[in-house]
Amino acid sequence: MTEQILHVTGMTCGHCAASVSAALLAVAGVSRAEVSYPDATARVEAAAGTPVTALIDAVRAQGYGAEVSGGAGCGTAPRTESGLKVAIIGTGSAAMACALRALEAGAAVTVIEASTTGGTCVNVGCVPSKILIRAAHVAHLQARHPFAGLARHAPALDRKALVAQQQARVEELRHAKYESILETHPGITLLSGFARFENADTLVVKQADGAEKRLTPDRILIATGRSPQIPDVPGLAGTPFWTSSEALLAEETPSHLIVYGGSVVALELAQAYLRLGSRVTLVARGALLSKQDPAIGEGLKAVLIEEGMRVLTDTPANAVRFDGRRFELETGAGVVSGDRLLVATGRKPNTAGLELDRAGVATDPSGAIRVDDHLRTSVPHIYAAGDCTNAPQFVYVAAAAGTRAAINMTGGDAALDLSIVPAVVFTDPQVATVGLTEAQANELGMETDSRTLTLDNVPRALANFDTRGFIKLVADKRSGRLLGAQVLAAEGGEIIQTAALAIRNRMTVADLAGQLFPYLTMVEGLKLCAQTFTKDVKQLSCCAG
């Protein structure tokens, strides 16, 4: 037996160290792996002849950096990628994750940004939208909470003050998580301008003064994100309609807001404005959240209508008119008139100006860059990550992709596993999903069994006087293995990760039903739903095991 000491980068907590230890112990020949987060080291005892490359690859596959630190070697370390030049187009989550990991591996990194540092999430996506949604939720509770003895009242709204507070937090997080990183890491160079490919090996960056700078990096990451997709509705172009960006920054609350769209952004912002005092009409071309289990969209539609929203589904817009004061949306259900129109019908990849054809980078019909599980494009030294690709459009997927792209750029071997991706829509109740729906599982040839638990069977929901929604579990009929979960519930986003971990660990519904869940919590609904596969939970006592 010999001992190998590795220097491990990228760990942020003791759990990271445990993950690295488990990965090392899974390598053939390894008998002991002691990993220290504070010391950033791994002491590995392995059989003689165990290649150190296997140890390093095991660590890198978990998303961390690794190199030989000292001790008696049990193999040969891979060549250090010293002097490697990496160019990254974009400064969002995928871009910054890639930049930091490539820098750790010894690469010289240039990031290219044509607009505001930080990308969609912090500037015009996750952060400001969740602040708006939370403020609207508080306003809703003031006016419509369910508790007797507590006075209800319409909130006094100062939209300008809300926007100022929202944007102050956006600027704070943009500086802390993006700008300050660029300022404090001299190995990362920020280049402002629009990038395009001259050929597969050369980037041309057009700067604000019109000057062009050419770069010939060894590796390139495209991480340009997405922007609102505007439908081709007659009369829409040239009118002062809102996209999500304008809706988040508007300092007035419309008297009547028309929202055109039926997916995540449309639903979140429509409900937020409804709760802030606008009359809202939602016009959707198809069903709400049409890619989800149909029960999700129908359940959410009922909630929104109960709150006072007019919801028109399966209703495409035929034309838009604007007379300088009001919008008219012509639909198959008649004309809808309002003082503001929010168009939220999807997002398109920001790839049109990159001239990807000059580099030979393949895209799908929408313009999204095709990547494999190692984030490689059709050109070996060009990678892509985040919303501009054909991967799921979530910021946490983008960040994970950026990290793994950097590992692979600098000599490692890390795949992005998208087999289990939890997702949340921040309506109220929240929509949270993971794994397969019944329809998806059946399309894959699986025979399924499922149960749906309404929230009037969940003690926490009863105590909250809020039983809107349900929890649905989908299992393999033969083995009972959990395949998917669909949740429409308050705090659904806090529930779904437990289901994701259960699927990841190949648990059965019986396994889930037998776990200890804290009482009173909403996540206990997963246990209760799992119990319904074999029991009538209405006949159980509180917190029955």
- How far from 260 is each of 118, 244, 531, CA to CA, in Å? 27, 11, 40
Query: 161: buried, middle or exposed (CB in 10 Å: 19+, 13-18, 0-12)?
Result: exposed
Distance CA(195)–CA(206), nearest Å, equals 6
> Could you confirm whether 409 is annotated as catalytic?
no
Helix, strand, coil shares of the chain, percent, nearest 5, are 35, 25, 40
Query: Which phi and psi (to 5°) does residue 230 adopt?
Result: -100, 120
Please pick, among 1, 96, 126, 178, the residue that the annotation labels catalytic: 126
Let me know: does 490 contact 466? Beta carbons within 8 Å. yes
Distance CA(109)–CA(293), nearest Å, equals 43
Structure tokens at 279: 């009359």
Sort residue 202 into left (φ over 0), alpha (ψ -120 to 50) or beta: beta
Distance CA(207)–CA(230), nearest Å, equals 27
> Could you confirm whether 542 is annotated as catalytic?
yes
Let me know: does 114 contact 388? Beta carbons within 8 Å. no
Nearest C-alpha neighbor of 278 from the set 400, 170, 155, 114: 155
Distance CA(118)–CA(132), nearest Å, equals 19
> Could you confirm whether 529 is annotated as catalytic?
no
Query: Which phi and psi (to 5°) does residue 22 adopt?
Result: -65, -40
Residue 111 CB: number of other CB atoms within 10 A?
A: 24
Query: Which H helix or E strand runs over 322?
Result: strand 317-322
Distance CA(301)–CA(163), nearest Å, equals 28
Distance CA(322)–CA(51), nearest Å, equals 70
Please pick, among 96, 121, 388, 522, the residue that the annotation labels catalytic: 121
Query: Which H helix or E strand runs over 473?
Result: strand 470-476
Please pick, among 16, 37, 396, 446, the residue that the annotation labels catalytic: 16
Length of the chain: 545
> Could you confirm whether 13 is annotated as catalytic?
yes
> Could you confirm whether 16 is annotated as catalytic?
yes
Q: Look at strands 30-36 and 194-199 and give their pairing.
A: unpaired
Structure tokens at 9: 């980068």
Distance CA(128)–CA(255), nearest Å, equals 22
Please pick, among 64, 178, 273, 383, the residue that the annotation labels catalytic: 64
Distance CA(502)–CA(410), nearest Å, equals 33
Query: Which H helix or E strand runs over 330?
Result: strand 327-331
Q: HSE on the CB side for 156, CA within 13 Å?
A: 0
Structure tokens at 398: 């983008």
Please pick, among 37, 396, 446, 543, the residue that the annotation labels catalytic: 543
Instruction: Return the SS3 of 23.
Output: helix
Nearest C-alpha neighbor of 322 from the set 343, 338, 344, 333: 338
Query: Which sign does the torsion angle of CA 89, 92, 98, 99 carry?
Result: positive
Identify any residues that bridge with 329 across adjacent strands, giving them in sequence order: 320, 336
Catalytic residue annotation: 11, 13, 16, 64, 121, 126, 542-543
